Chain A
Amino acid sequence: MQHTITVLVENKPGVLARVSGLFARRGFNIESLAVSITDDPTVSRMTIVVGGEETVLEQITKQLNKLIDVIKVVDYTGTSVVERELAMIKVNAEPKSRSEIMQIVDIFRAKIIDISDRTFTIEVTGGVEKIDAMEKLLEPYGMLELVRTGKIAMARGPKAA
């Protein structure tokens, strides 16, 4: 089962390697990882999406908590969260297909952020499924490049991590 784990860490060199090492050592592939600084400049926040056996993930979570540079670990699996991901997609946009693509962009409330004589670069934000869907619809036109930020997540309501 897929887990979304948020890890608050000291904003220091080497911390990412410590965290990712715990997954690597057990042969777990991290599906997405987003890291950035938080409102406190000494703290970074990682959002890790990973799949794997429950008991092993539980062990990894405990081991994460043991890392000296890890301040807090929250496993969002099964809790109510808002989650977003951003993607940029460079897609073929021949004159005859341009209006179709623009309609798709419209429907998905995405944005065209760069344009050339043959391509559009589209920015889309949303849940993982929305981006997957958009990707699928744009595929027939010929996708040249795709980059996704990886999911970020926050609990709904007043509670903070």
Chain B
Amino acid sequence: MKMTGAQALIKSLVHQGVEVIFGIPGGVMIPIYDALYDCDEIKNYLMRHEQGAAHAADGYARASGKVGVCFATSGPGATNLVTGIANAYMDSIPMVAITGQVRTTALGKDAFQEADITGITMPITKHNYLIKNVQDIPRIIAEAFHIAGTGRPGPVLVDIPVDVSQAEVNYEPVTKVELRSYKPTEKGHPLQISKAAKAIAEAERPVLYAGGGVISADAGKELLDLTEKTHILVGTTLLGKGAIPETHPHCLGMLGMHGTVYANYAVAHCDLLIAVGARFDDRVTGKLDEFANKAKVIHIDVDPAEIGKTVRVDIPIVGDCKKVLAELIKKIEPRKETDWNKRITEWREQHPIACPTDTKEVYPQCVIAAAWELTGGDAICVTDVGQHQMWAAQFYKCAGPRKFLSSGGLGTMGYGLPAAFGAQVAKPGETVLHIAGDGSLQMTIQELAPAVQHKLPIKTLLMNNQYLGMVRQWQELFWNKRYSGVDISAQPDFVKLAEAYGAVGLRVTKHQDIEPAIRKAMDVKDVPTIIDFRIAKEENVFPMIPSGKGVRDIIFGEQKPKRRR
């Protein structure tokens, strides 16, 4: 069928099953947006900044498990995507970003709105393409989706010069992708799996360490089967939250810098660490030579480059987490609860994650705990980056996978609102909570406009302490309370701001108003809500293992009276 390159692109996207796109047009994108105008299968969500488009595609991908798609124009449109692409790359999120480019004859000549976006995104994409020949569009789009969604997922960028979009092509759908140099290992080596089973049988103090790879491989069920069969307890990373239900007695919550004391103690004292779909990030390990230093390490990961990258591994297993765990479960004998389980339970009782009992101020922990109780952990919880993110990680117990969306690797402030947008688009029937800080929210607040336009009832719980709180916390603890560059008390009235956008704005300044306000937000079904929680200004996130330190340096926090959760 004869058509333009732009039409072939849209056809190819439909062929890949794309239903939604997050993007913003521009001069060189007009042919593509023109082709989109005639397409009934794909809905375009017009964002207000390209970073928002990339994060929305990311949130959509995390919530749905599908490949997220974003569009941007050449030059500034494309460079605005960069943060969102880097974010997806660091967290291994499947995404296809399509950018317009100046015409092929103008490439490299500093044409209007030209930026070398394939060059710029080379280190932050799994792969990228500059399409010079219109005939290549169907094949390259098929390859882009294949690369983005298989193996260790990641973003792929496709740059399309405007003359290529306008050129004529005889479109034929491409269904089969053949890449001689890209064949991810899915099946784990049976010998290695047997070795792992033997190590598990011999271990006295084993611990599971589950990361985002469990979620992207949809291996939650297998992980649950494994922990139930063996009574090996599970600590997760930030991205691994919800890999098994966090209220499950075998779940130790989050590991690492702001992880639970008992999860960190368990890793510090274990004799076998079973890492599944995790990459030993420095926020998890802290000081490397004190991390699990008594333990044998089994590392299950789809990416061979992760094996031995930061930590010595005794039994590496390269493969898809779901498949490897399924095989592993077959080879291991059931284990009973042991003294080791009891020891961890004791640690859990000694150092619970608990809310302040003080009700004179609004404490962020209480806000998040209330939101968790009201939703049963079943809402999709999207966070920004900072103190509120860590409180959310500690107090929001996910009922299952794909319920906790957070910028882990890159730590992108401003991720939350657009990612919540993408998540709500992916799951229109579900409650989407957006837990934000006042610093982060202001970085992408403009995406409230399309959220109002599309009647997305995102509930933003704004932990407003008028500080860049995490930096302030570090300055308080390690920099002699020199609060340099963190005071953001010059800020808009968020209630009025929400109303100005056509959303609902609420403010909470008293402890007893926390729950009623969240309930009120839950009842809003057709627009977003922002609740401006005026939280205790200098509240800190604890426990904390200072950067580069080990578990023995853990700071437990102020000894305020605590209420158990």
Contact = CB atoms under 8 A, between A and B. Distances in A.
B31 to A, nearest CB: 24
Interface string A1-25: 0000000001001100110010001
A71 B183 CA distance: 10
B2 interface: no
Contact of B181 (A14, A62, A71): A71
Interface string B465-480: 0000000000000000
A71 B122 contact: no
Interface string B246-284: 000000000000000000000000000000000000000
Interface in B164-201: 179-182
Given A68-B182, A69-B181, A63 B122 contact: no
Given A17-B119, A68-B182, A59 B127 contact: no
Given A14-B118, A59-B309, A62-B304, A68 B126 contact: yes
B181 A59 contact: no
Given A59-B305, A62-B305, A18 B122 contact: yes
B376 interface: no
A66 interface: yes
B93 interface: no
Contact of A68 (B130, B147, B303, B308): B147
B123 interface: yes
Interface string B329-353: 0000000000000000000000000
A25 B124 CA distance: 12
Interface residues of A, number: 19
B305 A65 contact: yes
Interface in A30-63: 58-59, 62-63
A25 B180 contact: no
B148 to A, nearest CB: 11
Contacts of A69: 127, 181
Contacts of A70: 181
Contacts of B127: 67-69
Contacts of B130: 13-14
A21 B126 CA distance: 13
Interface in A50-109: 58-59, 62-63, 65-72
B122 A21 contact: yes
A62 to B, nearest CB: 4
Interface string B113-140: 0000011001100110010000000000
Nearest to A61: B305
B179 A68 contact: yes
A105 to B, nearest CB: 43
Contacts of A65: 304-305
Nearest to B304: A62
Interface in B437-485: none
Contacts of A68: 126-127, 147, 179, 181-182
A28 to B, nearest CB: 14
Contacts of B305: 59, 62-63, 65-66
A39 to B, nearest CB: 16
Nearest to B309: A59
A103 B198 CA distance: 69
Nearest to A17: B122
A62 B127 CA distance: 16
B312 to A, nearest CB: 10
Interface in B294-348: 303-305, 308-309
Contacts of A63: 305
A16 to B, nearest CB: 11
B141 to A, nearest CB: 15
B123 A25 contact: yes
B101 to A, nearest CB: 14
A10 B304 contact: no
A46 to B, nearest CB: 14
A5 to B, nearest CB: 15
Nearest to A70: B181
Contacts of B179: 68
A14 B119 CA distance: 8
Interface string B487-523: 0000000000000000000000000000000000000
Contacts of A58: 308
Contacts of B303: 66
A97 B88 CA distance: 65
Contacts of A62: 304-305
Contacts of B181: 10, 67-72
Contacts of A13: 130
Nearest to A69: B181
A70 B305 CA distance: 14
Nearest to A58: B308
Contacts of B182: 68
A69 B181 CA distance: 6
A65 B151 CA distance: 13
Nearest to A59: B309
B331 to A, nearest CB: 27
A58 B305 CA distance: 9
A25 B127 CA distance: 17
A69 to B, nearest CB: 7
Nearest to A8: B181
B123 A21 contact: yes
Nearest to B147: A68
Contacts of A66: 303, 305
Nearest to B184: A66
By Cβ-Cβ distance, the 7 closest A-B pairs, closest first, are A62-B305, A68-B127, A71-B181, A68-B182, A63-B305, A66-B305, A21-B122
28 contacts: A10-B181, A13-B130, A14-B122, A14-B130, A17-B119, A17-B122, A18-B122, A21-B122, A21-B123, A25-B123, A58-B308, A62-B304, A62-B305, A63-B305, A65-B304, A65-B305, A66-B305, A67-B127, A67-B181, A68-B126, A68-B127, A68-B181, A68-B182, A69-B127, A70-B181, A71-B180, A71-B181, A72-B181
Given A68-B147, A68-B181, 15 more contacts: A10-B181, A17-B122, A21-B123, A25-B123, A58-B308, A59-B305, A62-B304, A62-B305, A65-B304, A66-B303, A67-B181, A68-B179, A69-B127, A70-B181, A71-B180
Interface of B: 118-119, 122-123, 126-127, 130, 147, 179-182, 303-305, 308-309
